[in-house]
Amino acid sequence: MKLGLGCATRHRAFGKMFRRVANALEPLFQMLGELRIDHADYDGLLIGVTDEECQEFFEIVENSERFLQVLVGCRTDVTDEELRQHLIATTLRGIRLCQLTSEDLQYYETLLSTVLRSGPEKRWQTPE
């Protein structure tokens, strides 16, 4: 399943932080995107982050392709680690909406939950 992450912001400093954190998460997203999912309703998950909405904002956006597209809010006064955790939690929330098989969903949940609990300096591994 392909994963995409983007940001629309009015605050330049937040945009820079987003790019820094998103770049650090790129290997994780690439690894998740390479996993073969045989029975998914969607080919991918697109996540848009905006500082125009509150942290709890989460909206599914209509998409004519086979992608689940969501728009999420984020505060601008967060640390890199808080943004990292928000992006991982949002990814997990979006994946849960993709109607995967229970086995595939468990795999994603195990991997992302492990990454959420680890610090930014830790490397992730695929679960056994």
Indicate whether 125 pLDDT > 50.
no
- Element spanning 4, H or E: strand 2-8
Q: Which two tokens stand for residue 15?
A: 């945009």
Identify the residue with better confidence: 65 or 76. Answer: 76
- pLDDT tens digits, residue range 26-55? 888 888 887 777 667 788 889 999 999 999
Domain ranges of the chain: 2-117
Read off the pLDDT band of 123 (50, 70, 90).
very low
Which pTM does this prediction carry? 0.83
- pLDDT tens digits, residue range 67-80? 999 999 999 999 99
Q: Read off the DSSP letter of residue 55.
A: T
Cβ-contact 6, 47 below 8 angstroms? yes
- Element spanning 70, H or E: strand 67-73
